Structure formats: C-alpha cells, structure tokens
Amino acid sequence: MKINSCKALPLIIGLTLPSPALAQVKVNPKTMPAIGQVDQRFLSYNIEAVEITGGRFWKPFASANGATEHAKPVQPSDPYQYRPPIDLSNARLRTLASALSPAFVRVSGTWRNSTFFQNDDAPALTTVPKGYKNVMTRAQWKGVVDFSHAVGAEIVASVSISDGTRDDHGNWTSSQAKEFFDYTKQVGGTITATEFMNEPTFAAQGAAPAGYDAVMFAKDIKTFAAFIRTESPGTIFLGPGSIGEGVPMIDGMPLPKMISTEEMLKATGPIFDAFSYHFYTTLSERCVGKMGLAWDKALTPSYLDRNPRAETYYASLRDRYLPGKPIWLTETGEAGCGGSRSASTFVDSFRFMDQLGQMAQKNVQTVIVNTLASSDYGLVDEDTLAPRPDYWAALLWKRLMGTKVLDPGSIPNTELRVYAQCMKDTPGGVTLIALNIDQTSEHTLKLPIAGFQYTLSAPELLSKDVSLNGAVLALSIDGSIPKLTGKSVLPGEISLAPRTITFLALPHAKNANCKN
C-alpha cells in the first residue's frame, strides 16, 4: 500500500506548544503502546426511517460553487422537502455501502418514534393510523434486511413510542414492536442492537406523550427490556440515546425543555447493555439561521475538541450509572438539522477524521454517521450518488485502520493532530493519520521506517472534490470504486502540506501490540 500527504488528525494526547513553520514531529510506530480496542464496525452509518418510508426530511441546500454560497446563510422558510422511499436495491448505492463494511446500518431517527409498522403485504395505508405520523410497510423493511445482507451491515434499530403504541392508561405496549421484530426474523434479518426511542432528552419533540418525564421513560424502558430479553435475547440494548448535554450545539442558545440523562439513568437503574448518546458539532442554519458555528472555524482546536468534550460528559454519566459498560455514539454529524452548507465539502473531513481519531482513543465502540445518502451531511449525494469528501476519507479509514488503538506519543504542535492504530489485516503494522490544520505552513513527521502515504487535499476547503496524492477521486464510468493507491515513502521526513489529511500505512512497523 502507499500513502499520500493528508491533513493530520487531532491528537488529544500531547503538549500545547507553538507550532513553527516546518515544525518536525518524531514518532516511533514500533513502540507505541496499545490504549484501547474498538469494534470492527467502529465506523458505521445511519439511514433515517423517514428515508425508508418516504416523507419530509431536511431539504438539501441548492448546489452552488465558491465561498459565496457559504458566506450568506439564510434560514429557509421550509427546511423540509418530500422525498420518495430510498431505493436500497440500487446497485451503485450498494457498491458504495459494501466498501464501508463491516458496519452497522442504523435505521432510526426522530421520525421512527411515530412510525406505524404495517404488518401485511398490502400497499401502504393512505391514512396513517391514529397516534402515528408515518407508515412503514413490510416490503420497505424487507428492503432494509436485504440491504444489510448485501452490503455486510448489521442492523441497529429503535421502535415506535408515540400515542398509538399506548394503552388507555398511557402505558407503552409491545404489540407493534413484536410484529416488527417477528417479521425481521421471518425474512432472515437480525436486529443486532436497539435503542428504545430516538433522543429521549427531547422527548416532547420526538412524539412522546404529553408530560413525558424520566419516571415515564423508566417505566417504558423496563417494559421494553423485558420484551427484548424474551423476544430477541441476543440483541444489544442501547440507551438512553441522549443528545444536547455537556456541550451546547449553539453556545448561549436556550433549549426546549429536556429530560436529563442523569434523571433517566437514576430512574432506570443499570438496565442497558451499552451506553449510547448522540452528538452534532453545531446546528444547521435550517434551524438556527446565522447562529451556527461558521465553517471558517472548522480548522480550530476549539471546534474540533467539541466532540471529545461531549464524550467526556456522557462517559462520566456512564461511569457513574453503567460502570464497565461500553459506550456507543449512535448518531453524529457535522450539524444537526441536515448538516450545514459546508458539510458536503472537504473542510468537514477534518472534523470527521478528528472525531474518529479522538473517539477511538476514548474507547468509544462505534461512531454511526448521519447519514449514508441524505441531505447535506450524507456521505453520498442523494441525487447523483456521487461520493463526497467525507466518503473518501471514510473509505481510507476503513481500509487502513485496524481495531486496536495506539498512543502515538506527545505531539508538541497544536496545528498537527496525529492518531495511530494497528494497521488493518497486517500483523505488526501501524497506520497513522495526521491532520495538518495549519492553513499556511507545512509540518513534517519523521518516520524511522518506510511505508505508504495517502494524502487527501483539495484546491479550497469548500471544494466538493477531493484528491488522493494529487489525483481527483471519482467513481469509474461503470460506477465502481477506483483503486486507492498509496505513494511509497522512505524512512525520514514526511512533508505534510497545509490543510491536508494524511494516512501513513507502515506494514513493517513490527509493533508487538499489533501482532494479532
């Protein structure tokens, strides 16, 4: 394999010293200690339930080139648009998703909280049953199961919790969930993991009954847990699936009434198999106009470090109420409400790769990106199915980064972020990812061994095209994914150009921690 100069990933282990031009950082891949292990499906993706059923979801911003599009954010009068059900049988979409395997495909989202599962083979109901807002047919859900098999992705789900699922006393009942789980098994599918509902911290916005609180949540959770243990005992029970705490998505913006995660965990007790939470770095202008974080802050440590700050907050709650349980980031992206205008451009790849590097160091087991192919934060353009810069970065991560996480050592440079993991499928090998977030100066990484370099770059940060070692990445005419070839590098100094992301694959590192 070969490597090309790219932007260095953020490193949370290190000193904070000034970064002179051409500052040199030395690393020793052979002696890097192991500091954690992540799931082989660490990098995964979400397909919103409303994509499966068809419905109104976040309307993509009109396509345009240049900084003007990003310089004048406008809050649209209607942030949504109707879209027909996604075609999960599409050969190109399956090719792109297969290249990211193994993965989880999470089918959830706020819309799932109030989606009725139509358990027959008739056409979709034209009138939505009382207490629900959407209808999912058997055929639509079978499409998810078939997709999961075809692309090597295990299913993560949630269930309906709206008024339609409840008895006369407001208690959640499992009849809809049972039909959903039973049909999944009937067509050969498996729900590997499930949350009860999407984002209970904002229950009122997620179709929960009026007055829903931590006590009601705990009662529901205990009913659902009993159902899961009987109906699908192998399914991992994730929870609570919180969002909005620890690091505000918009500093100073008042939030609607929330149910705190701590209140929920106190009420439920240690019932979950794994702690789950969601995080977005900011909110799109669709929801908050100009209040969101501007794209030109994306290469600053304060912006990049929002992700680990949120994880630290939720991990502290996990440690207190679910000690020893793994932690999953089950929904994340550049900006909530569909992603900002810069989400589909090269600048977001720095946040994305930095997030993966930092979450792996923190032993987060999986990071599920929202979405695979919808709105501006999709890895793939929903209309053309053209891979976006984040997709190409994700593909390199999948191909080069193994599951064992290493400590790259102290990096005395705030403009250079470096992460290390055992090299995928290469005993003894090590892969580094280096983010040079400096916008003007090169930095150098001194390697004691030869390897291969993969550098991602773009002519401008807001470009929707990205190059690997200088060659623009694109699908082949037949829709296939091109070979990603690294550039051979000898021992010595590796130049990292400004605003680049670089993977360095070192198959001969001989790191004893990476031998199996």
Q: Is 373 inside a domain boundary?
A: yes
Q: b/e map of 207-240 (b: 16 or more CB within 10 Å)?
A: bbbeebebebbbebbebbbebbeebbeebbbbbb
pLDDT at residue number 78: 87
Q: What are phi and psi of 489, to 5 degrees?
A: -130, 140
Is the pLDDT assigned to residue 340 strictly greater than 80? yes
pLDDT at residue number 22: 52
Single residue among 404, 420, 445 that ends a domain in this structure: 404
Percentage of residues in the chain with pLDDT exceeding 70?
93
Residue 362 sits in the same domain as residue 472: no
Residue 198 sits in the same domain as residue 289: yes
Residue 57 sits in the same domain as residue 206: yes
Residue 273 sits in the same domain as residue 360: yes
Q: Is 38 inside a domain boundary?
A: no
Q: Are 10 and 73 in contact (CB under 8 A)?
A: no
Residue 278 sits in the same domain as residue 419: no
Q: Is 505 inside a domain boundary?
A: yes
Residue 305 sits in the same domain as residue 340: yes
pLDDT at residue number 62: 79
Residue 482 sits in the same domain as residue 419: yes
Q: Is 5 inside a domain boundary?
A: no
Q: Is 68 inside a domain boundary?
A: no
Mean pLDDT of 412-417: 88
Contacts of 478 (CB under 8 A, 6+ apart): none
pLDDT at residue number 311: 98
pLDDT at residue number 10: 37
Query: Binning pLDDT at 50, 70 and 90, where does residue 76 land?
Result: low
The C-alpha angle 40, 46, 47, rounded to 5 degrees, equals: 135
Pairing of strands 103-107, 115-118: unpaired
Q: Is 148 inside a domain boundary?
A: yes
pLDDT at residue number 9: 35
Structure tokens at 121: 């083979």
Residue 393 sits in the same domain as residue 485: no
Is the pLDDT assigned to residue 7 strictly greater than 90? no
Mean pLDDT of 255-268: 94
pLDDT at residue number 24: 79
Residue 399 sits in the same domain as residue 450: no
Mean pLDDT of 406-411: 93
Using CB atoms within 10 A of its CB, is residue 78 exposed (0-12), middle (13-18) or buried (19+)? exposed
pLDDT tens digits, one per residue of 36-45: 999 999 999 9
Using CB atoms within 10 A of its CB, is residue 131 exposed (0-12), middle (13-18) or buried (19+)? middle
Is the pLDDT assigned to residue 370 strictly greater than 80? yes
Mean pLDDT of 40-56: 97
Name which of 90, 105, 107 is nearest 43 in CA terms: 105
Is the pLDDT assigned to residue 1 strictly greater than 60? no
E strands in 3-133: 24-26, 34-37, 43-46, 55-58, 80-83, 103-107, 115-118
Q: Is 86 inside a domain boundary?
A: yes
Is the pLDDT assigned to residue 140 strictly greater than 90? yes
Residue 393 sits in the same domain as residue 444: no
Single residue among 347, 382, 404 that ends a domain in this structure: 404
pLDDT tens digits, one per residue of 170-208: 999 999 999 999 999 999 999 999 999 999 999 999 999
Which domain, by its residues, includes 224?
A: 43-62+78-404
pLDDT at residue number 75: 52
Residue 356 sits in the same domain as residue 343: yes
E strands in 250-400: 274-283, 327-336, 367-370
Q: Are 366 and 330 in contact (CB under 8 A)?
A: yes
Q: Is 19 inside a domain boundary?
A: no
Count of other CB atoms within 10 angstroms of residue 20: 11
Is the pLDDT assigned to residue 5 strictly greater than 70? no
- For residue 469, give the CATH number of its domain: 2.60.40.1180
Percentage of residues in the chain with pLDDT exceeding 90?
88
Query: Which pTM does this prediction carry?
Result: 0.93
- For residue 224, give the CATH number of its domain: 3.20.20.80
Residue 381 sits in the same domain as residue 469: no
Single residue among 376, 404, 432 that ends a domain in this structure: 404
The count of structural domains within the chain is: 2
Is the pLDDT assigned to residue 403 strictly greater than 50? yes
